[in-house]
Structure 1
Amino acid sequence: MIKQTLLRCIYAGLLSASLYACTESHSSEKKFVVTDSLQLHNDSIHRMFNQADAASKAYQLDTFFHSMHKKRGFNGTVLIAQHGQIIYKGAFGYADLRKKDSLTTNTAFQLASVSKQFTAMAVMILKERGLLSYDDEVQKYYPEFPYKGITVRMLLTHRSGLPDYTYFSEDFWPDRKKFLDNQEVIKMMAKHQPKPYYLPDKRYDYSNTGYSVLAAIVEKASKMKFENFMQKEVFKPLGMTHTWVFNGNNTALTEKVAVGYTAGRRVVANSYLNGATGDKGVYSTVEDMFKWDRALYSGKIVKATTLEEAFQPANKEMKKENYGYGWRLKTLDCGQPVVYHGGWWHGYKSYFMRNRHDQSTVIVLTNIANHSLGHLKNVQPILYPEQTLLTVAKTSPTDSVQVAGGE
């Protein structure tokens, strides 16, 4: 029976910066249930923690990441937890290659598309407060928006069909020395009306534009700048003191910010596109991202029932994996849901995975955009030595996960 369960949990395919895990349950319950109390839920999870087992895994992880650094060019930071407790963290290489400024686990990196989960959280906060509805159309907030029938929910789940602003702005944004912000994205679309890729709600189509529009809607609904809203409502309450949304002037809010490099180790120049946020633009550290991970079990930001909506599959046509609100989703054959996201933008790659069943977490941030994260599949057998699960994931201009076949 165990062998059959394990076999059902093995998916063929080459992992490219994506890792999933399936654990044996100590009961017949297969679904993860979020509780309103972090302490109550953690009690049962923490009882699964074994110090000797964690020490053994930490040694193997340290060996693996040192090898990644020396042989694969991995330059970044990592934090891995299991049963809700950190079992390993480390920093490898430099924040600035020219200065040889060593990375630490408090070095901040651009999260790229991992930022989308924070934008979704902002929307959920406003929804709970009655300041917006998932079924609101964009025209409620921006009457000049030229694409009819697109709702907040469609933006969250990548079903808007909107064209990609990172492409059409090349034709319509005249001053490349001036940052393009979210409000300007709306104005540009209203003025030039670039052709949409699909009609609304016809199919899933990963959209950076959609999340930029969501950030603009957050600004209208909250009457605050997006970066200020996130600081007030999420980062500050959670003690994420080294996390912020880029606004063109705030790259030094922590003592150390990693410089982004190409795979050839050339500095990636600042871009006018960096001013648009929501799809990207959050800077954070592995330490702060673990605070975020833990807070998602606590009900501190939104109610558990509200958060659970983010983890529900929203695209019926997607078979092998799905997308919720700011999260990629996978339900394993053994019944356990896994949520994750990758990111890739201008020299930065990021990866954040959560198995909510045993509260395992893998957080990896890097500032050299090479293929080192493609070897993260080797973390899986260290965390779950009796089980191996390889999976396939997606990519986009701000998403670090490479296409390896499948849906």
Structure 2
Amino acid sequence: MESQLDSIFTHLHKRKGFNGTVLVTKYDKVIYKGAFGFANFKRRDSLNTHTAFQLASVSKQFTAMAIMMLKEQGKLSYEDSVQQFIPNFPYKGITIRQLLTHRSGLSNYTYFSDELWPDRRVPITNEDVLDLMEAHQPRPYYPPNTHYDYSNTGYFLLASIVAKASGMPFSAFMEKNIFGPLQMKNTFTFSDSLVSQTDKVATGHTGGRRKRYPDYLDTVLGDKGIYSTVEDLYKWDQALYTDKLVKRETLEEAFTGSRLKKNKDEDYGFGWRIRPLDNGDTVVYHAGLWHGYTTYLLRNPKDHSALIVLSNVSNGSLRHLKEIQRFLYPVQQGITPVEENATAVPVVNAKP
């Protein structure tokens, strides 16, 4: 299987433009890992499996875990309102559970910040976005708890709640409670000093391999902003089969669908998408796209397998991952495949 996976990813690299790192597991063991291309095309420094990438929306599962840990510690409830932690928040009737499951109805902060933030040369923080929401009250897309609407705003708010409920900055909470205990030594939240360590961090690139520079939105955390490696994400994957972070019953809710109108192709838990594969297995996964990075993490609890792919060239090459999924999870005779688009890799956390 290792040689076959190497052939597939080598083909994606040479023919489809894939530039990044990959790690595949089955029954908790690494069966393949590799690195293809450059961390920075101008310097032509080769990637390796310890190179860190911006995770984009794959960060959301870590934010959700922080909330679950605080819930177990008795510092919050999923039914608490946002105002219990952010008293001046101007939108009523929104709970932590609705933020976790994308049912807040709030408008996207990446859009209204473009209109309301006075100087894009100045980084904007979570607190700054909260101030914009209080002062300008951007119109929500929907009333709370009436629609599923994928929301970056909801997850930046969750990170802000983590900071309020824990009494420490979001980045410090993540390091103390998740990254440190799991020995994820190359995982961190966005900071200029860490991202500038070019020997450890891949540079984001456009589809044309031009460098993507950080902008003022990179300093908003929770919906994105975590950097990690395929090696560290393997440690994360393995920890989710244990009680190291939260109890099993707590974690199970993160992998339980929440959408009231069931979509046969997909559901959403806490920071995880839930989808049936063609072979009948149900997997949990997330994808991400942000400023020259595309990311993908899929877990199949049935055989304790995972597919982890990180790229620093946003050229659409990860859309070909359905070929990998079909190889890892072939359809058995007598099973009717689900619709073709059920194995497509969604693009999330992107600005138009």
Q: TM-score, normalised by structure 2?
A: 0.94
Contact 1:112 1:398 in 2 (8 A): no
Q: Does the C-alpha gap of structure 1 residues 398 and 277 become closer, same or farther in structure 2, counting only changes over 3 Å?
A: farther
The 3-state SS of whatever aligns with 1:163 is coil
Contact 2:279 2:331 in 1 (8 A): no
Q: Does the C-alpha gap of structure 1 residues 144 and 323 become closer, same or farther in structure 2, counting only changes over 3 Å?
A: same
Q: Which residue of 2 aligns with 1:285?
A: 229
2:323 pairs with 1:378:
yes
Q: Does the C-alpha gap of structure 1 residues 332 and 397 become closer, same or farther in structure 2, counting only changes over 3 Å?
A: closer
The 3-state SS of whatever aligns with 1:397 is coil
Offset, 1:178: 1.7
Deviations 1:298-346 (A, max 9, x none): 1100111111110111111131211000000124697643100000000
Q: Does the C-alpha gap of structure 1 residues 349 and 307 become closer, same or farther in structure 2, counting only changes over 3 Å?
A: same
Q: Which residue of 1 aligns with 2:177?
A: 233
Contact 1:242 1:253 in 2 (8 A): no
Partners of 1:283 and 1:292 lie apart in 2 by: 13
2:308 pairs with 1:359:
no
**Quick one: which of 198, 212, 222 aligns to 2:166?**
222
Partners of 1:378 and 1:335 lie apart in 2 by: 16
1:3-42 matches, cutoff 5 A: none
The 3-state SS of whatever aligns with 1:117 is helix
Q: Does the C-alpha gap of structure 1 residues 395 and 66 become closer, same or farther in structure 2, counting only changes over 3 Å?
A: closer
Partners of 2:82 and 2:281 lie apart in 1 by: 35
1:309-324 matches, cutoff 5 A: 309-320=253-264, 321-324=266-269
Partners of 1:199 and 1:385 lie apart in 2 by: 42
Q: Which residue of 1 aligns with 2:78?
A: 134
The 3-state SS of whatever aligns with 1:350 is strand
The 3-state SS of whatever aligns with 2:22 is strand
Q: TM-score, normalised by structure 1?
A: 0.81
Q: Which residue of 2 aligns with 1:350?
A: 295
Q: Which residue of 2 aligns with 1:397?
A: 349
The 3-state SS of whatever aligns with 2:195 is coil
Offset, 1:184: 1.2
Partners of 1:155 and 1:262 lie apart in 2 by: 31
Deviations 1:268-289 (A, max 9, x none): 1211000101000000000000
**Quick one: which of 205, 214, 224 aligns to 1:270?**
214
Deviations 1:98-117 (A, max 9, x none): 11100000000000000000
Offset, 1:250: 2.6
Partners of 2:280 and 2:19 lie apart in 1 by: 35
**Amino acid aligned to 1:231:** E
Report the structure number with the largest CA radius of gyration.
1
Partners of 1:335 and 1:385 lie apart in 2 by: 10
Partners of 1:333 and 1:61 lie apart in 2 by: 19
Q: In terms of mean alpha carbon deviation, does 384-393 or 336-345 score higher?
A: 384-393
Q: Does the C-alpha gap of structure 1 residues 366 and 394 become closer, same or farther in structure 2, counting only changes over 3 Å?
A: closer
Q: Give ranges in structure 1 of 5+ residues lacking alignment.
A: 1-56, 400-407
2:274 pairs with 1:329:
yes
Q: Does the C-alpha gap of structure 1 residues 396 and 73 become closer, same or farther in structure 2, counting only changes over 3 Å?
A: same
Offset, 1:381: 3.4
Say how many residue pairs are matched: 344
Contact 2:53 2:227 in 1 (8 A): yes
Structure 1: which 4+ aligned runs deviate by more than 3 Å?
Answer: 252-255, 331-336, 384-390, 392-399
1:190-201 matches, cutoff 5 A: 190-201=134-145
Partners of 1:309 and 1:115 lie apart in 2 by: 18
The 3-state SS of whatever aligns with 1:60 is helix
Q: Does the C-alpha gap of structure 1 residues 254 and 347 become closer, same or farther in structure 2, counting only changes over 3 Å?
A: closer
2:61 pairs with 1:117:
yes
Give me the CA root mean square deviation.
1.8
Partners of 1:394 and 1:188 lie apart in 2 by: 30
The 3-state SS of whatever aligns with 2:213 is coil
**Amino acid aligned to 2:348:** S
Higher relative contact order (CA 8 A, sep 6+): 1
Partners of 2:103 and 2:203 lie apart in 1 by: 34
Partners of 1:309 and 1:254 lie apart in 2 by: 38
1:104-253 matches, cutoff 5 A: 104-252=48-196
